[in-house]
A and B are shown apart, each in its own frame.
Chain A
Amino acid sequence: MKETLLDKVWRAHSVRELANGQTQLLIGTHLIHEVTSPQAFGMLRDLGLKVLKPHRTFATVDHIVPTDEREEPFSDSLADEMIKALRQNCAESGVTFFDLPTGKQGIVHIVGPEQGITQPGTTIACGDSHTSTHGAFGAIAFGIGTSQVRDVLATQTMAIRKPKVRRIEVNGKLKPGVYAKDVILHIIRKLGVNGGLGYAYEYAGSTFDAFTQEERMTVCNMSIEGGARVGYVNPDQTTFDYLKGRPYSPKGAEWDAAVARWQSFASDADAVYDDVVVYNAEDIAPTVTWGINPGQAIFIDEAVPTPSELPEKDRATAIEAIEHMHLRAGDPIKGTKVDVAFLGSCTNGRLSDLQEVATYLKGRTVKPGVKAIVVPGSQGVASIAESLGLAEIFRDAGFEWRGAGCSMCLGMNPDKLVGEQLCASSSNRNFKGRQGSPTGRTVLMSPLMVAAAAVTGEIADAREVFGLR
């Protein structure tokens, strides 16, 4: 008793303590993609090593995949080289690859849960910082660098220090028009972009209890934007219901045993935490970023901060941010002109995100001059959305309906901002240059707020635009 989920998962996966005090931690599930794995396979070859557990390694292709012209060879020869390298590495080592023709390709953090590969009480690693997404299932999931991808390929383990645990409780019911995305932006705003250094975040409270798996994923996804490498929610019936019947979920008698086992990993009621913070769901309003890191966020009806009024340590970055964003201190953020609306990413590219937006977008049209794209997070999401008629709603409204991938979240594929364009984005990072143009500007927000921006051509309050008050 008195253990957190992190304690229990750590204990079950701890292989041994290394001489420097780090743990050699078993990584049960290794997810790989085309950007951070080719060098790792190269290192493996240089060392004469093989993939130790190909049956626990799963690959997909997401960052560099074009979302419109998807036939190979890709027009970008570097991207083409990357997908071919991954295909060959997977074939040679016997790793399952959710490749483009399989109908199962997508953003790695959407594919894992969708296939039932992401399971409670497990450890997961992937060469991508948004691996924390999988924590929504009560897994301990780490973003890792390429040398660690090599370590996990070769030994199914990595050397790591056990983090501390901060419990972040959010209680109460979110108001209409307020979403999981607003919750995590609010948490990062309050705790800071480096507030989570050295911590795993355990998200809990009645708000999280009521959240769907997909909402929990949105929150866990952005843990790293708050400096926490790991974020998780304790597994419960919502988790088990989501997993039941998925391709890689346990079947038959194994299912019941698995559920019993998964339940046992949840944090004990009297678990001891290194820190606890509590927020009230009703205090959270639709939130947007005004700056160049995800902590620089305000409610939609607030004004762009005045740097001199901020704590001293935040001033220099605020001045830099306001300059980059071409905003004026003290001006309302609402009404800022938008050039591009991007709906997608591992944060908000799931079916429920598209469904929620489609409900309100039906019969509305994108403001002329705004480029609006919607990118389903996986081929699976795309195909269900199409069968439900969502694609048609988006197309009728003037959105471009694209193929699955990371798209405009980062500038590694043809979907990029141009020049100083300002993008209303459902993604996770508003760093300078993140969306492919060094001078491009990103405003992070919930999917419905992206739709409101697309329809009005400016940063707008979705509650007003779609009559949600």
Chain B
Amino acid sequence: MAANGPAQTHGLRPGMPLAQAMALAPDAVVAPHDPDTDRRLLDVLAERCGLYSPWTATEGACGLWLDVAGCGHLFGGETDLLDQLSGKLKSLGLTNRAALAPTPGAAWAWARFGDPAAPILEEMDQLAPLPLAALRLSPRMVGDLAALGLRRIGELLDLPRPQVSLRFGRDVLWRLDQALGVEPEPISSIRPVAPHRVHMAFVEPMSRVEDIAEALRRLLAELCNRLIQDGLGARRLDFTLFRVDGTLCRVEIGTGAPSHDPGHLFRLFRDRLADIRPGFGIEAVRLDAVATQAQTAEQSDLDGPAGGGDLPHLLDSLSNRLGPRRLMRLLPHPSHIPERCVRRRPPGAPTTVGEWPAGRYPIRLLAHPDPIDAMAPIPDAPPLRFRWQGRLHQVVRADGPERIAPEWWHEDAEERDYYRVEDTQGLRFWLYRQGHYGQPEPPRWYLHGVFP
């Protein structure tokens, strides 16, 4: 059994049998433990805390990590950030304690055992009086250490390091080093955080597009330098703008091939900058290389202006401007069903190019075959005339039928008999009939495409 704050004032304690608790406080509300729902709530909270920092993660069953490095100024300082964060959680009905420290380990300790009146840990020395449980050691280890007379972090610090390691195992020293920042502690954020990230805060909030563009230009120059050093090119970049009122907006661009050319990347952003609404002003901006890829010397040749090799650049510009999945190459797909024989692929140079089987194809295939009224003189003959979109077409030339059977795994689909017909105007159409004459259900005619 667990017990919240008000319950504990009635003498209830975590771990107490339920019967005993009900005897002590008959009015207590009892809810069954639902770890899955708790987990989901914690995940939602972690997302929500993205307002305070782009880097958030959950910790254990009831903790949240936030890396707020460089975020404090957005909220009027780190104290205000903690106040706002804590107040927000409280307004959601969640008891919480927040602390800020230079390392995750120290923050963990300070949030649970530190001084709630001073939630920011300024000096590592302040950890010394805290109990050893603050080091995230197992209860058993804490008990063992207590049996040896060690109760506080400071006492552990006073011991020679080799002796600690030797007597209590590597874990104790490891947790101590994590708290002190000697040992790095990698924690993964719920949102992937780009290893290549640059940011810039402004003294005065800005709202002019030109100023934002200039800031972006500088960030790109810095980011690209770092990418070049690492032999990488960007595939996706997020440009995040932090507004004065604590909200943010984001512009994302993608490239077809890795690039570390600041000029090219800036052009991809340029036309999107006009869409930014600065609100009361932009206080800080951040640029993340969300996806990167090794960029070989050969690929970087594409960046050069020579040889008309700037097709990848053009495709990037067009893709970003027209919107996702609006620019493509149309590749053969092995299907004899007309509407399935084309596959849409990203516009970069196709790696595999097959061929469509020889034959006559309509130049325009309707996305949905259009039902038409058709007059056929005898079964299995092309229609003499048909009406489509309110216009009557007199057929003067016809070819067919070509039977296209459905793919066998589409059990209820019917076969189609296709005809190529030409009307008196020289318009050429692709019609098909579904069903047969002489059946209870009359056959249906459709127009599926137009020929050149």
Q: Do A and B bind each other?
A: no
Q: Which B residues form the contact surface with A (CB < 8 A)?
A: none
Q: Report A's interface with B, CB cutoff 8 A.
A: none
